[in-house]
Amino acid sequence: EGGKQVGIVMAGNIPLVGFHDLLCVLISGHLAFIKLSSQDSKLLPKLTDLLISIEPVFGDLIHYVTQLKNKDAVIATGSDNSARYFKQYFSNQPNIIRKNRISCAVLTGKETEEDIVALGKDIFSYYGLGCRNVSKLYVPKEYDFKKLLHTLESFEEIGNHSKWRNNYDYNKSIYLVNREPHLDNGFLLLRESTQLVSPLSVIYYEEYESLDSITKKIASQQDKIQCVVSSTVEIPNGIPFGKAQYPEVWDYADGVDTLKFLSELK
């Protein structure tokens, strides 16, 4: 009774990526109007069918729509380009608009093999397509990549996926033709770059002078970084290796408290 109509534009980069938004809308007592991504259109309806079978009340609260018009509030997730469109289109409603973010790892050179295998999960799960997947490494000067590349070979099966392999072959050929320095273990490319967003099959890395300097650099790019993975306690809000894709239920995307936003809707 009295719940607001909340539109949710779901992203489709990894399965069920917008479920947390739906969960927040439901426990806030609002009505969810869901616009699915064409890339992830099957799983969520199955899951909500299951939810409704457990708690039939949700049947009146969950609606799948193709357009979001005249809603009381909107939560929309997408690329930087679509976020600009969302901001304009939903400017008259209370909204949370999320755009592209990446996650990074800060290495010290003291990582164990187990740490690197766990980091591999942060890199390769969902083929690296999630905003919580690590696509950038910060490493100390003179870092030896041999152990890292060798240990990550345990994930070589990902190289058998045709789309991953196509990206790998394409990026490798560009680096070779342009004579760009890079490291290669047969299915993953490492390239030095100050950029954050790397192409599929490529991890960018950047050297740092001190943990203090890299902490400041990460803080200055906070609006582009979803999470930071590291084994050192000196990195604020660092997440242990292997845990990037296992957020707690109170870990809000982009650091924006979705429940607070929903509870304050007038």
pLDDT in tens, 159-202: 999 999 999 999 999 999 999 999 999 999 999 999 999 999 99
Q: Give pLDDT, residue 80.
A: 85
Dist. CA 183–CA 150, nearest whole Å: 11
Q: Give pLDDT, residue 1.
A: 57
Dihedral sign (CA 233, 235, 238, 244): negative
Using the predicted structure, report yes or no on whether residue 227 has a pLDDT greater than 70: yes
Average pLDDT over residues 69-93: 90
Domain made up of 5-100: CATH architecture = 3-Layer(aba) Sandwich (3.40)
Dist. CA 104–CA 9, nearest whole Å: 26
Dihedral sign (CA 125, 226, 40, 197): negative
Average pLDDT over residues 25-37: 96
Q: Domain residue spans in the chain? A: 5-100, 102-230
Q: Give pLDDT, residue 55.
A: 95
CA dihedral 224→68→25→31, nearest 10 degrees, is 180
In this prediction, residue 207 has a pLDDT band, given cuts at 50, 70 and 90, of very high
Start-to-end Cα distance in the chain: 14
Note the pLDDT tens digit of each residue in 93-115.
Answer: 999 999 899 999 999 999 999 99
The CATH homologous superfamily of the domain defined by 102-230? Aldehyde Dehydrogenase; Chain A, domain 2 (3.40.309.10)
Radius of gyration of the chain (CA): 20
Task: Specify the pTM.
Answer: 0.92
- Look at 236 and 192; give whichever has higher pLDDT: 192
Q: Give pLDDT, residue 120.
A: 98
Average pLDDT over residues 4-27: 95
How far is Cα of residue 40 from the mean position of the Cα atoms in its chain? Answer: 15
Q: What percent of the chain has pLDDT over 70?
A: 99
In this prediction, residue 49 has a pLDDT band, given cuts at 50, 70 and 90, of very high
Dist. CA 168–CA 203, nearest whole Å: 11
Write 90-97 long-range contacts (CB < 8 A, 24+): 90/7, 94/261, 94/265, 96/256, 96/258, 96/261
